[in-house]
Homo-oligomer: A and B are copies of this chain.
Amino acid sequence: MERHFDTELTQLKQQLLKMGALAEAMIDAAVKALVERDAGQLEQIYIQEQEVNALQVSIDEACLRLTALYQPTAGDLRFLLGVSKINTELERLGDQAINICDMVKKLLQEPQLKPLIDIPKMVSIATDMVRDSLNAFVERDVNKAKSVLLLDDQLDDLKDRIVNELIIFMTNDTASVNRAVQLICVARSLERIGDHATNIAEDVIFVVQGKDIRHHMHDL
């Protein structure tokens, strides 16, 4: 029975990783469509979101079933609560990717606004954070989880810089206002993606150490 429980936990981890890889691919593809000005690349992303949603329901069901069936305690119980929390974060990542898609669709209806500025760089940091936070969970690697928290500061700084540049841009060229606002929203979605990865990293530390580090970031 114990071994069967372990097999089920391994399957859960694999499902989470699959969901994470999907979310990451969605985010990448949404911004690639913007950079390459090719709306055709967006359709696949809406299909992938359905897969992410189905995985979310299936993972939550598995968490409930395993908790009821094996009545785990201590570390295993924290692990299952962690899976359930990370599951929610991953579904939200999918939502943010869809938000970006919707904004990219609007942006592609108008001529290109010159400064995509550091948005591709934000994507690169945000998807690194998602991947690292999930790997930290699978590998129970607290140091890797902590490195995600540091990347989040970089991402936030980048977002502030982008917003400030776009505000100056709009002020000098009122014809750009609509597009600049959309781009600001894309940057904010990427910031939110970083927040979700940060939440996952905090969940990892909680699962591994049994220590709740949320709201005590200065203790790191």
Binding site for B on A (CB under 8 A): 50, 53-54, 56-57, 60-61, 63-64, 67-68, 71, 73-74, 77-78, 81, 84-85, 88, 163, 167, 170-172, 174-175, 177-178, 181, 184-185, 188, 212, 214-215
- With contacts A88-B88, A167-B177, A170-B177 known, what are 7 further pairs, Cβ within 8 A? A50-B215, A54-B215, A60-B212, A67-B67, A81-B84, A170-B170, A171-B178
B84 in contact with A64 (CB, 8 Å) = no
Instruction: Specify which chain B residues have a CB less than 8 angstroms from the CB of A64 in the assembled complex.
Output: 77-78, 81
Instruction: Specify which chain B residues have a CB less than 8 angstroms from the CB of A167 in the assembled complex.
Output: 177-178, 181
Of the candidates B60, B77, B163, B214, the one whose C-beta lies within 8 Å of that of A56 is B214
Instruction: Specify which chain B residues have a CB less than 8 angstroms from the CB of A54 in the assembled complex.
Output: 215
Number of copies: 2
- List 18 A–B pairs whose Cβ atoms lie within 8 Å, in order of A's numbering: A56-B214, A56-B215, A57-B212, A60-B212, A61-B212, A63-B81, A64-B81, A67-B67, A67-B77, A68-B73, A84-B84, A84-B85, A167-B178, A167-B181, A171-B174, A171-B178, A174-B174, A177-B177
How far is B81's CA from A84's CA once the two chains are assembled, in angstroms? 9
Instruction: Specify which chain B residues have a CB less than 8 angstroms from the CB of A60 in the assembled complex.
Output: 81, 212
A181 in contact with B178 (CB, 8 Å) = no
How far is B181's CA from A167's CA once the two chains are assembled, in angstroms? 8
Closest chain B CB from A10 CB (angstroms): 21
How far is B64's CA from A74's CA once the two chains are assembled, in angstroms? 8
Chain B's closest residue to A168 (CB) is B177
How far is B73's CA from A64's CA once the two chains are assembled, in angstroms? 9
Instruction: Specify which chain B residues have a CB less than 8 angstroms from the CB of A53 in the assembled complex.
Output: 214-215
Closest chain B CB from A173 CB (angstroms): 9
